[in-house]
Amino acid sequence: MDGLHYEGMIIRPPSEAESIILQVTRGCSHNKCTFCGTYKGVRFRIKDDAIIDRDIDYAARNLQFLRRVFLADGDALIIPQGRLAGILQKIRTRMPWIQRVGLYGNAKSILRKSPQELEELRDLGLGIVYLGVESGDPQTLKDIRKGVSREKMVEAGRRIREAGIKLSVTVLLGVAGRERSLEHARATGSILSEIDPNYVGALTLMVLPNTELGRRAQEGAFELPEPRELLVELREMLAHTHMSRGLFLSNHASNYLPLKVKMPSDKEKALALIDAALEGRVRLKPEWMRAL
Protein backbone atom coordinates (compact mmCIF):
# COMPACT_ATOMS: atom_id res chain seq x y z
CA MET A 1 0.00 0.00 0.00
CA ASP A 2 1.29 3.42 -0.93
CA GLY A 3 0.01 6.00 1.54
CA LEU A 4 -2.77 6.03 4.12
CA HIS A 5 -6.17 4.52 3.29
CA TYR A 6 -8.89 7.16 3.06
CA GLU A 7 -12.53 6.91 1.96
CA GLY A 8 -14.75 9.88 1.14
CA MET A 9 -14.34 13.32 2.70
CA ILE A 10 -12.00 13.57 5.68
CA ILE A 11 -12.69 16.31 8.21
CA ARG A 12 -10.54 17.28 11.16
CA PRO A 13 -10.37 20.16 13.64
CA PRO A 14 -8.15 23.10 12.58
CA SER A 15 -5.82 22.35 15.51
CA GLU A 16 -5.05 18.90 14.02
CA ALA A 17 -3.57 20.34 10.81
CA GLU A 18 -0.11 18.99 11.66
CA SER A 19 -1.34 15.57 12.80
CA ILE A 20 -1.27 12.10 11.25
CA ILE A 21 -4.89 11.53 10.22
CA LEU A 22 -5.85 7.86 10.70
CA GLN A 23 -9.36 7.15 9.40
CA VAL A 24 -10.64 4.46 11.76
CA THR A 25 -14.36 4.99 11.17
CA ARG A 26 -16.37 6.05 8.13
CA GLY A 27 -19.11 8.62 8.59
CA CYS A 28 -20.89 9.76 11.75
CA SER A 29 -22.78 7.56 14.21
CA HIS A 30 -25.54 10.19 14.64
CA ASN A 31 -25.70 11.84 11.18
CA LYS A 32 -29.05 13.56 11.81
CA CYS A 33 -28.04 17.18 12.51
CA THR A 34 -30.02 19.52 10.26
CA PHE A 35 -27.05 21.80 9.48
CA CYS A 36 -24.46 19.14 8.54
CA GLY A 37 -24.06 17.76 5.03
CA THR A 38 -20.69 16.06 5.48
CA TYR A 39 -21.84 12.45 5.59
CA LYS A 40 -25.19 12.49 3.80
CA GLY A 41 -25.89 9.05 2.36
CA VAL A 42 -22.91 7.48 4.15
CA ARG A 43 -23.63 4.55 6.44
CA PHE A 44 -21.53 4.67 9.59
CA ARG A 45 -19.08 1.84 10.13
CA ILE A 46 -15.81 1.03 11.85
CA LYS A 47 -13.06 0.21 9.36
CA ASP A 48 -11.46 -3.24 9.27
CA ASP A 49 -8.69 -3.86 11.77
CA ALA A 50 -6.40 -5.00 8.94
CA ILE A 51 -6.71 -1.62 7.18
CA ILE A 52 -6.16 0.29 10.43
CA ASP A 53 -3.11 -1.88 11.19
CA ARG A 54 -1.60 -1.17 7.75
CA ASP A 55 -2.17 2.57 8.21
CA ILE A 56 -0.44 2.53 11.61
CA ASP A 57 2.49 0.61 10.09
CA TYR A 58 2.72 3.09 7.20
CA ALA A 59 2.66 6.07 9.58
CA ALA A 60 5.29 4.43 11.79
CA ARG A 61 7.64 4.01 8.80
CA ASN A 62 7.01 7.27 6.94
CA LEU A 63 5.58 9.95 9.24
CA GLN A 64 8.04 10.08 12.11
CA PHE A 65 8.33 13.87 11.79
CA LEU A 66 4.72 14.32 13.03
CA ARG A 67 4.03 14.28 16.77
CA ARG A 68 0.26 13.92 16.96
CA VAL A 69 -2.41 11.54 15.66
CA PHE A 70 -6.06 12.31 14.94
CA LEU A 71 -8.54 9.44 14.64
CA ALA A 72 -11.18 10.31 12.01
CA ASP A 73 -14.11 10.34 11.00
CA GLY A 74 -17.03 11.93 12.80
CA ASP A 75 -17.16 9.88 15.98
CA ALA A 76 -14.26 7.51 16.64
CA LEU A 77 -15.09 7.39 20.37
CA ILE A 78 -18.09 5.16 19.54
CA ILE A 79 -15.68 2.28 18.79
CA PRO A 80 -16.14 -0.47 21.43
CA GLN A 81 -13.67 -0.09 24.29
CA GLY A 82 -11.56 -3.15 23.53
CA ARG A 83 -11.01 -2.22 19.88
CA LEU A 84 -10.35 1.44 20.61
CA ALA A 85 -7.92 0.59 23.41
CA GLY A 86 -6.22 -1.81 20.99
CA ILE A 87 -5.79 0.93 18.37
CA LEU A 88 -4.30 3.30 20.94
CA GLN A 89 -1.99 0.55 22.21
CA LYS A 90 -0.72 -0.11 18.66
CA ILE A 91 -0.06 3.60 18.14
CA ARG A 92 1.84 3.73 21.43
CA THR A 93 3.88 0.59 20.64
CA ARG A 94 4.70 1.33 17.00
CA MET A 95 4.93 5.13 17.24
CA PRO A 96 6.36 5.79 20.71
CA TRP A 97 7.24 9.39 19.76
CA ILE A 98 3.55 10.39 19.42
CA GLN A 99 2.72 13.00 22.06
CA ARG A 100 -1.08 13.10 21.75
CA VAL A 101 -4.00 11.30 20.13
CA GLY A 102 -7.25 13.19 19.49
CA LEU A 103 -10.70 12.30 18.17
CA TYR A 104 -14.27 13.53 17.80
CA GLY A 105 -16.83 12.31 20.32
CA ASN A 106 -20.50 13.08 20.73
CA ALA A 107 -22.39 13.14 24.02
CA LYS A 108 -23.88 9.67 23.48
CA SER A 109 -20.55 8.02 22.72
CA ILE A 110 -18.89 9.75 25.69
CA LEU A 111 -21.62 8.63 28.09
CA ARG A 112 -21.37 5.05 26.82
CA LYS A 113 -17.84 5.01 28.26
CA SER A 114 -17.51 4.64 32.00
CA PRO A 115 -15.17 7.03 33.85
CA GLN A 116 -12.77 4.09 34.27
CA GLU A 117 -12.83 3.34 30.52
CA LEU A 118 -12.07 6.98 29.69
CA GLU A 119 -9.17 6.92 32.16
CA GLU A 120 -7.86 3.77 30.42
CA LEU A 121 -7.99 5.58 27.06
CA ARG A 122 -6.20 8.57 28.62
CA ASP A 123 -3.46 6.28 29.94
CA LEU A 124 -3.07 4.83 26.42
CA GLY A 125 -2.49 8.29 24.91
CA LEU A 126 -5.91 9.84 24.26
CA GLY A 127 -5.17 13.46 25.05
CA ILE A 128 -8.07 15.46 23.63
CA VAL A 129 -11.71 14.94 22.66
CA TYR A 130 -13.55 17.35 20.34
CA LEU A 131 -17.25 17.70 21.24
CA GLY A 132 -19.78 19.48 19.05
CA VAL A 133 -22.12 21.18 21.53
CA GLU A 134 -23.44 23.72 18.94
CA SER A 135 -25.88 25.36 21.42
CA GLY A 136 -26.85 25.39 25.06
CA ASP A 137 -30.44 26.33 24.23
CA PRO A 138 -32.73 23.27 24.66
CA GLN A 139 -35.12 24.46 21.92
CA THR A 140 -32.27 24.98 19.45
CA LEU A 141 -30.77 21.55 20.25
CA LYS A 142 -34.18 20.04 19.48
CA ASP A 143 -34.62 22.09 16.29
CA ILE A 144 -31.22 21.04 14.87
CA ARG A 145 -31.84 17.38 15.85
CA LYS A 146 -28.74 17.10 17.95
CA GLY A 147 -30.24 14.03 19.59
CA VAL A 148 -29.18 14.91 23.13
CA SER A 149 -30.42 17.15 25.91
CA ARG A 150 -28.55 20.08 27.41
CA GLU A 151 -28.16 18.12 30.66
CA LYS A 152 -26.58 15.12 28.90
CA MET A 153 -24.24 17.45 27.02
CA VAL A 154 -23.03 18.95 30.31
CA GLU A 155 -22.62 15.48 31.83
CA ALA A 156 -20.61 14.28 28.82
CA GLY A 157 -18.31 17.30 28.79
CA ARG A 158 -17.62 17.02 32.49
CA ARG A 159 -16.92 13.29 32.22
CA ILE A 160 -14.13 13.97 29.72
CA ARG A 161 -12.64 16.67 31.94
CA GLU A 162 -12.85 14.51 35.07
CA ALA A 163 -11.02 11.70 33.26
CA GLY A 164 -8.06 14.04 32.80
CA ILE A 165 -8.56 14.38 29.04
CA LYS A 166 -8.54 17.81 27.40
CA LEU A 167 -11.88 18.92 26.00
CA SER A 168 -12.41 21.14 22.98
CA VAL A 169 -16.02 22.25 22.46
CA THR A 170 -17.49 23.61 19.23
CA VAL A 171 -20.44 26.01 19.22
CA LEU A 172 -22.24 27.48 16.21
CA LEU A 173 -23.04 31.16 15.76
CA GLY A 174 -26.25 31.62 13.79
CA VAL A 175 -27.58 28.08 14.22
CA ALA A 176 -30.72 29.27 16.06
CA GLY A 177 -31.63 31.68 13.27
CA ARG A 178 -32.66 35.28 13.81
CA GLU A 179 -35.61 34.48 16.09
CA ARG A 180 -33.70 32.78 18.91
CA SER A 181 -30.30 34.39 18.35
CA LEU A 182 -29.93 35.98 21.79
CA GLU A 183 -31.54 33.08 23.69
CA HIS A 184 -29.09 30.75 21.93
CA ALA A 185 -26.13 33.04 22.71
CA ARG A 186 -26.92 33.35 26.43
CA ALA A 187 -27.73 29.66 26.91
CA THR A 188 -24.57 28.68 25.07
CA GLY A 189 -22.45 30.93 27.28
CA SER A 190 -24.16 29.31 30.25
CA ILE A 191 -23.48 25.71 29.10
CA LEU A 192 -19.85 26.56 28.38
CA SER A 193 -19.57 27.92 31.92
CA GLU A 194 -21.03 24.67 33.30
CA ILE A 195 -18.77 22.40 31.23
CA ASP A 196 -15.67 24.60 31.65
CA PRO A 197 -13.72 23.09 28.71
CA ASN A 198 -10.07 23.68 27.83
CA TYR A 199 -10.96 25.16 24.45
CA VAL A 200 -14.04 26.65 22.81
CA GLY A 201 -14.24 27.04 19.05
CA ALA A 202 -17.08 29.37 18.00
CA LEU A 203 -17.75 28.77 14.30
CA THR A 204 -20.23 30.67 12.15
CA LEU A 205 -22.95 28.59 10.49
CA MET A 206 -22.68 28.40 6.72
CA VAL A 207 -25.99 27.15 5.35
CA LEU A 208 -25.41 24.32 2.87
CA PRO A 209 -27.95 23.50 0.13
CA ASN A 210 -27.71 19.71 0.68
CA THR A 211 -28.94 19.94 4.28
CA GLU A 212 -32.36 20.10 5.91
CA LEU A 213 -31.49 23.55 7.23
CA GLY A 214 -30.58 24.61 3.68
CA ARG A 215 -34.00 23.51 2.45
CA ARG A 216 -35.70 25.34 5.31
CA ALA A 217 -33.74 28.49 4.44
CA GLN A 218 -34.82 28.23 0.78
CA GLU A 219 -38.44 27.93 1.89
CA GLY A 220 -38.07 30.97 4.15
CA ALA A 221 -38.55 28.93 7.34
CA PHE A 222 -35.02 29.65 8.56
CA GLU A 223 -33.26 33.01 8.42
CA LEU A 224 -29.54 33.31 9.14
CA PRO A 225 -28.67 36.41 11.18
CA GLU A 226 -26.90 39.23 9.33
CA PRO A 227 -23.14 39.75 9.97
CA ARG A 228 -23.82 42.49 12.52
CA GLU A 229 -26.38 40.31 14.32
CA LEU A 230 -23.87 37.45 14.40
CA LEU A 231 -21.39 39.81 16.03
CA VAL A 232 -23.98 40.74 18.68
CA GLU A 233 -24.59 37.01 19.18
CA LEU A 234 -20.87 36.40 19.64
CA ARG A 235 -20.63 39.25 22.15
CA GLU A 236 -23.60 37.97 24.14
CA MET A 237 -22.21 34.43 24.13
CA LEU A 238 -18.75 35.52 25.31
CA ALA A 239 -20.23 37.83 27.96
CA HIS A 240 -22.16 34.88 29.44
CA THR A 241 -19.18 32.48 29.28
CA HIS A 242 -17.32 32.13 32.58
CA MET A 243 -14.40 29.70 32.14
CA SER A 244 -11.82 29.11 34.86
CA ARG A 245 -9.04 28.88 32.23
CA GLY A 246 -8.50 27.90 28.60
CA LEU A 247 -9.07 29.56 25.26
CA PHE A 248 -12.22 30.92 23.60
CA LEU A 249 -11.55 31.01 19.86
CA SER A 250 -13.52 32.49 16.98
CA ASN A 251 -10.64 32.30 14.52
CA HIS A 252 -12.18 29.66 12.21
CA ALA A 253 -12.27 30.47 8.49
CA SER A 254 -16.07 30.89 8.71
CA ASN A 255 -15.94 33.77 11.19
CA TYR A 256 -16.26 37.50 10.47
CA LEU A 257 -14.15 38.65 13.43
CA PRO A 258 -11.20 36.41 14.41
CA LEU A 259 -10.68 36.22 18.17
CA LYS A 260 -8.29 34.28 20.39
CA VAL A 261 -9.31 34.93 23.99
CA LYS A 262 -7.33 33.61 26.94
CA MET A 263 -9.94 33.04 29.64
CA PRO A 264 -10.70 34.75 31.88
CA SER A 265 -7.93 37.38 31.66
CA ASP A 266 -8.55 38.54 28.04
CA LYS A 267 -12.35 38.48 28.14
CA GLU A 268 -13.00 42.19 28.76
CA LYS A 269 -10.47 43.18 26.10
CA ALA A 270 -12.20 40.86 23.59
CA LEU A 271 -15.63 42.30 24.41
CA ALA A 272 -14.22 45.80 23.81
CA LEU A 273 -12.88 44.64 20.42
CA ILE A 274 -16.33 43.31 19.45
CA ASP A 275 -17.84 46.64 20.52
CA ALA A 276 -15.33 48.46 18.32
CA ALA A 277 -16.34 46.24 15.39
CA LEU A 278 -20.02 46.92 16.06
CA GLU A 279 -19.24 50.64 15.99
CA GLY A 280 -17.43 50.24 12.65
CA ARG A 281 -13.94 50.92 14.05
CA VAL A 282 -12.70 47.38 13.28
CA ARG A 283 -13.20 45.81 9.85
CA LEU A 284 -14.88 42.43 9.48
CA LYS A 285 -13.57 39.68 7.22
CA PRO A 286 -15.05 40.10 3.72
CA GLU A 287 -17.49 37.44 2.49
CA TRP A 288 -15.12 36.07 -0.18
CA MET A 289 -12.52 35.19 2.46
CA ARG A 290 -14.91 33.02 4.52
CA ALA A 291 -14.94 29.24 4.17
CA LEU A 292 -15.97 26.05 5.94
Q: What's the pLDDT tens digit per position in 194-242?
A: 999 999 999 999 898 889 989 999 999 999 999 999 999 999 999 999 9
Residue 23 lies in a domain: yes
Predicted local confidence at residue 85, as pLDDT: 98
Residue 292 lies in a domain: no
Predicted local confidence at residue 210, as pLDDT: 87
Residue 94 lies in a domain: yes
Residue 6 lies in a domain: no
Which string of DSSP letters, residue by residue, matches the chain? --S----S-----GGGTTSEEEE-EES-SS---TT--TTTTPPPEEPPHHHHHHHHHHHHHH-TT--EEEEESTTGGGS-HHHHHHHHHHHHHH-TT--EEEEEE-HHHHHTS-HHHHHHHHHTTEEEEEEEEE-S-HHHHHHTT--S-HHHHHHHHHHHHHTT-EEEEEEEETTTTTTTHHHHHHHHHHHHHHH--SEEEEEEP---TTSHHHHHHHTTS--PPPHHHHHHHHHHHHHT---SSSEEE--STT-SS--EEETTTTHHHHHHHHHHHHTTSSPPPPGGG---
Give me the domain span that covers residue 63: 14-287
Residue 147 lies in a domain: yes
Predicted local confidence at residue 291, as pLDDT: 66
Residue percentage of the chain with pLDDT more than 90: 79
> Which CATH number goes with the domain that contains 262?
3.20.20.70
Residue 64 lies in a domain: yes
The low-confidence residues of the chain, meaning pLDDT below 50, are none
Residue 242 lies in a domain: yes
Q: How many domains does the chain have?
A: 1
Residue 77 lies in a domain: yes
Predicted local confidence at residue 290, as pLDDT: 66
Would you say the pTM of this structure is higher than 0.75? yes
